[in-house]
Amino acid sequence: MLHKNQVKILELAKSINLAELTLQEIASHAKIEKASKQLIAFHIDKLKKKGFLTPDGKVIDQDSKLIAIPFFGAANAGPATLLADDQIQGYIKVSKSMLGKHNNIFSIKVTGNSMNKEKIEGKEIKDGSYLVVEKLSNPKPNDVVVTVVEGLVNIKKYRKIDDSTIALISNSSEEYPPIFLTQKDNPYIVGKVIQVLGNADMT
């Protein structure tokens, strides 16, 4: 559900290129009173993350059979070497029929082989695969999750050891040691992998 100010900005974007306006001009044209530049920027960013606007502020057709999913780049299914980056790098278009009823989804690309024996709905998580992730912070045991640990992005299987300890497990043809964490380590669970789209480089 969109905030009323987001609805106004989205309506404005259908007739005017937002990239050609200042934040103050957007507020004025959209008739949003007493709004700071920071607030307007916040709502525009939300519209982009929800898939209503492209990175350059153009409207994404919501009546299409395709849905535009924010793409955040690569995540590790191997040694954690990629730094977390919460900036949208673009959008990928996916058939709505492939996704089911999920909210707050985004996509990432797998780097590494530490999950190449793991399957989501029968599809293996391979190096180069594109994944669809649903944002959540409370996964269930054995969910495949995207995590940020010490600023590094990982794709692992979630296990709860006890009330204070969790383990992030690899499922691979190679040996990768688990990562053990406590709540004091502030493990950040970004979301649960719900779909493997495949490898766009496959022939």
> What tokens appear for 63 in the block?
């009546």
Please list the residues that pair with 149 across neighbouring strands.
152
> 149 pLDDT band (50/70/90 cuts)?
confident
Fold of 66-199: Umud Fragment, subunit A (2.10.109)
**Which range, of 2-6, 60-64, 119-123, 181-185, averages the lowest pLDDT?**
60-64
Position 85 scores a pLDDT of 63
Place of tokens 């057709």: 61
Strand positions, DSSP E, the chain = 66-76, 90-95, 105-111, 119-120, 123-124, 129-135, 144-149, 152-160, 165-169, 179-182, 188-199
What is the DSSP code (8-state) at residue 63? T
Residue-wise pLDDT tens digits, 41-90 = 999 988 887 778 888 888 877 666 777 788 888 888 776 666 566 666 77
Residue-wise pLDDT tens digits, 77-96 = 776 666 566 666 777 878 87
Classified as helix, coil or strand, 31 is coil
Position 200 scores a pLDDT of 59
**Strand duo 66-76 + 105-111: pairing:** parallel
192 close to 89: Cβ distance less than 8 angstroms: no
44, 54, 86, 96 from 58: Cα distances, Å: 11, 5, 20, 20
| C-alpha angle 87-105-151 in degrees, rounded to nearest 5 | 40
